[in-house]
């Protein structure tokens, strides 16, 4: 902190370093991140992330009801064993880790509209040289949601996408999935 900043009680931003650049700073409500720098899977990381979530009650957008807000999420490594069991219950199997991607798609509750979007989504997957493995509906417990949130609640479906033969490795597949 500069001497001037210390005198007037204001905090200054850190200097540009590594991936940090102060010119991208702006007011925000907050976020938290927990990671294992060695990429090791651990339930303790999930517990720490949930602690962060509990401590960020505002998170940027709260509706008129105390139990309706913008939502929050957590990103984890693909739980392959868990998803393989779920896939078998839906009559499809998953390839080895790194050979498929999984995403959650928010869709309309109306079955006709939902299926039309899924078909369009499947065409995009094929046009990108990937292969649809299958869909799975995500079970939810919406008892804690406010009335406003329930009225707008989407149908959440997991989509499983197989890595195309022309994609050389897992990192190239990750890039393909995030830019398609």
Domains and CATH numbers, the chain: 1-76 (no CATH), 78-180 (3.30.70)
- In the prediction, which pLDDT does 149 show? 84
Among this protein's residues, is 29 annotated catalytic?
Answer: yes
> Strand 131-137 vs strand 155-162: parallel, antiparallel, or unpaired?
antiparallel
- Give the distance from CA 23 to its chain's centroid: 26
> Strand 155-162 vs strand 100-107: parallel, antiparallel, or unpaired?
antiparallel
For every one of its 180 residues, what pLDDT tens digit does the chain have, with 9 covering 90 and above? 445 444 555 568 889 998 888 888 776 566 778 888 888 888 898 899 888 877 776 555 556 677 776 666 777 788 999 999 999 999 999 999 999 999 999 999 999 999 999 999 999 999 999 999 999 999 999 888 888 888 889 999 999 999 999 999 999 999 999 886
pTM (2 decimals)? 0.72
Selection from 109, 46, 52, 49 nearest residue 82 by Cα = 46
Q: What share of the chain is helix, strand, coil (3-state, %, to 5)?
A: 35, 15, 50
Catalytic residue among 1, 29, 126, 172: 29
């Amino acid at each position: 902190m500069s001497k001037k900043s210390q005198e007037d009680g204001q905090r200054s931003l850190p200097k540009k370093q590594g991936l940090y650049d102060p010119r991208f700073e702006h007011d925000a409500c907050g976020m938290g991140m927990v990671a294992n720098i060695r990429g090791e899977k651990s339930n303790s990381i999930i517990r720490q992330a949930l602690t962060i979530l509990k401590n960020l009650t505002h998170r940027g957008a709260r509706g008129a009801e105390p139990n309706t807000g913008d939502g929050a999420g957590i990103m984890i490594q693909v739980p392959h064993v868990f998803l393989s069991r779920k896939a078998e219950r839906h009559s499809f199997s998953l390839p080895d880790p790194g050979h498929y991607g999984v995403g959650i798609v928010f869709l309309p509750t109306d079955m006709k509209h939902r299926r039309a979007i899924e078909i369009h989504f499947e065409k995009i997957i094929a046009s990108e040289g990937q292969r649809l493995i299958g869909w799975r509906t995500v079970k939810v417990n919406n008892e804690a949601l406010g009335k406003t949130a329930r009225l707008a609640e989407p149908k959440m479906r997991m989509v499983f996408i197989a890595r195309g033969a022309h994609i050389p490795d897992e990192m190239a597949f990750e890039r393909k999935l995030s830019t398609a």
